[in-house]
Amino acid sequence: MSVTYIDAIREAQATLLREDPRVFLYGQDIGRFGGAFKATKGLLEEFPGRVFDSPISEDAMIGLAVGSAIEGLRPIVEMQFADFSSVAFNQIVNQAATHYYRTGIPVPITVRLPSGGTAGSGPFHSQSMEGIYAQYPGLIVLTPASVSDAYHMLIDAVAFDDPVIYCEHKFLYRWLKAESINGDRLPIGQARIVRTGKHATVVAYSAMVHEAVRAADSLLKDGWEIEVVDLRSVKPLDIDTVLASVARTGRLLAVGEAFPWGGVTAEVVSRVADEGFHLLDAPPLRHNSRDTPVPYHPKLWAAHRPTPESICQSLRKLLTF
**Which positions are annotated as active-site residues?**
125
227 counts as binding another protein under rule CB under 8 A: no
298 counts as binding another protein under rule CB under 8 A: no
Stretch that binds another protein, among 124-132, 133-141, 165-173, 208-216 (CB under 8 A): 133-141
Task: Report yes or no: 305 and 273 within 8 Å, Cβ to Cβ.
Answer: no
Question: CA 66, CA 91: separation in Å to the nearest integer?
Answer: 8
Instruction: Pick the closest to residue 242 from 278, 269, 206 (CA basis).
Output: 269
49 counts as binding another protein under rule CB under 8 A: yes
Q: In this complex, which beta carbon is closest to another protein, that of residue 95 or of residue 146?
A: 95
State in angstroms the smallest separation of the CB of 28 from another protein: 12
Residue burial 127-140, b: 16+ Cβ < 10 Å; e: rest: bbbbbbbbebebbb
| Residue type (1 letter), 21 | P
- The C-alpha torsion from 62 through 116 and 98 to 101, rounded to 10°, is 120
20 counts as binding another protein under rule CB under 8 A: no
Stretch that binds another protein, among 4-12, 37-45, 104-112, 219-227 (CB under 8 A): 104-112
188 counts as binding another protein under rule CB under 8 A: yes
Strand partners, 78: 27, 112
In Å, how far are 57, 132, 139, 262 from 127, measured between CA atoms? 19, 11, 19, 15
**Residues 14, 15, 41, 60: which binds another protein (CB under 8 A)?**
60
Size of site (CB under 8 A) for another protein: 52
48 counts as binding another protein under rule CB under 8 A: no
Give me the residues that bind another protein (CB under 8 A), please: 24, 49-50, 54-55, 57-73, 87, 90-91, 94-95, 97-106, 137-138, 140, 160-162, 187-190, 236-240
